[in-house]
Amino acid sequence: MQPDAPSAGRVQQSQIALHGQLYGYRMAGAGPLIVLLHGIAASSATWEHVIPRLTKQHKVLAPDLLGHGESAMPPGDYSLGAYANVLRDLIAVLGQERCTIVGHSLGGGAAMQFAYQYPERCERLVLVSSGGLGREIHPLLRAASLPGAELVLPWLSVVGEQSIALLLKTAGRVGLRGSADLEETWRSFAALERPEARRTFLNTIRDTIDLQGQRISAHDRLYLTAEVPTLIVWGEKDPLIPVSHAHRTHEVIPGSRLEIFPGTGHYPYLEDPERFATILLDFIRTTKAPRMDAERIRNRLHAGPRPSAADIPGRQSG
């Protein structure tokens, strides 16, 4: 199945066959490519208010990650590496080569993995309330990694609208705010009604989280992003992944840009899509994408962490 070319102003929802499975995605616009990756149990629909703000200057691709939305949900590998592999193949089959990759929450972990595995394809890296940058995470997500969680998820996904009032009353007790945090978390749980979606959710959670918190940390490899312009966006009141992860990561990545959204939670791009799009477009406009070749990648791996300013040729930051 070959995708139709999207028009510049219209967001097109499509599916494409890849490795014998169907994958869903949204695409619109024309120009240099921006890829938007959603978080766990979400879908490309989460970017619906952001995409139109980007398409005058860029082509935008928002895929449904493997096991999410309208994409295939086969049994198997749901590691960050698997997400990165499928994304590389999806970009290739859609006729694209390089991109600015934006990842929210789980999508941030997948975006970093993509940048590590395929640096020649990554022009810029944007981490939005990203996973994989510290151990701390909300107890609700830690609890989902426990044995028996599969017995609770079906109830959460079908309790219905009559429970929203109760959820609003208890949201503050667990740190969720009665706005984008609550609405998007609710929508994510509702998406787990299908057994295969619950299986995907649990496989992904258990691959990345345990009772102590996030199992996977990117900090031992963040030096590999030294030549990639990096933007970090976080909500000041994020209840799921603390804003301290943003500050620590900003210190570790040379020349990175940090944007904290005051008073917002885990979904800054939903609470203020206009500001998010403006910051993203300005970041792209004021930074220069590196050209990575095999020798440069080899030298970076050999040098290891703590690069000096001399190790970052041509690096620009806004």
Asked, for residue 4, whether it belongs to a domain, the answer is no
Do 118 and 26 belong together in one domain? yes
Do 126 and 64 belong together in one domain? yes
Report the pLDDT value the prediction gives residue 32, as an integer from 0 to 100: 97
Active-site position among 138, 188, 266, 272:
266
Tell me whether strands 213-214 and 209-210 are parallel, antiparallel or unpaired: antiparallel
Active site residue 105: yes
Asked, for residue 6, whether it belongs to a domain, the answer is no
**CA gap 308, 305 in Å, rounded:** 9
Report the pLDDT value the prediction gives residue 135, as an integer from 0 to 100: 66
The CATH number of whichever domain residue 117 belongs to comes to 3.40.50.1820
What percent of the chain shows pLDDT beyond 90? Answer: 45
Do 73 and 160 belong together in one domain? no
Report the pLDDT value the prediction gives residue 3, as an integer from 0 to 100: 42
**pTM, to two decimals:** 0.80
Let me know: does 229 contact 315? Beta carbons within 8 Å: yes
Asked, for residue 285, whether it belongs to a domain, the answer is yes
Do 35 and 85 belong together in one domain? yes
Nearest Cα residue to 119 out of 318, 294, 313? 294
**CA gap 83, 230 in Å, rounded:** 20
Report the pLDDT value the prediction gives residue 165, as an integer from 0 to 100: 41
Active site residue 266: yes
Nearest Cα residue to 106 out of 185, 208, 25? 208
Asked, for residue 1, whether it belongs to a domain, the answer is no
Do 229 and 178 belong together in one domain? no
Asked, for residue 316, whether it belongs to a domain, the answer is no
Do 243 and 303 belong together in one domain? yes
What's the total number of domains in the chain? 2
Query: Where does the pLDDT of residue 216 fall: very low under 50, low under 70, confident under 90, or very high at 90 and above?
Result: low
Which pLDDT tens digit goes with each residue over 33-49? 999 999 988 899 999 99
Which of 210, 242, 269 is the C-terminal boundary of a domain? Answer: 210
Which pLDDT tens digit goes with each residue over 161-199? 444 444 444 444 445 555 667 677 667 666 667 777 777
Asked, for residue 229, whether it belongs to a domain, the answer is yes
Active-site position among 105, 130, 145, 188:
105
Asked, for residue 317, whether it belongs to a domain, the answer is no
For 177, the domain range is: 139-210
Active-site position among 238, 245, 250, 256:
238
Do 288 and 197 belong together in one domain? no
Written in H, E and C, the secondary structure of 224-275 is HHCCCCEEEEEECCCCCCCCHHHHHHHHHCCCCEEEEECCCCCCHHHHCHHH
Which pLDDT tens digit goes with each residue over 137-157? 666 665 655 565 554 444 444
Where do runs of H (alpha helix) occur along 128-194?
A: 139-143, 149-158, 164-171, 180-190
Selection from 71-75, 131-135, 165-169 with the highest mean pLDDT:
71-75
Active site residue 220: no
**CA gap 181, 179 in Å, rounded:** 6
Which of 151, 185, 210 is the C-terminal boundary of a domain? Answer: 210
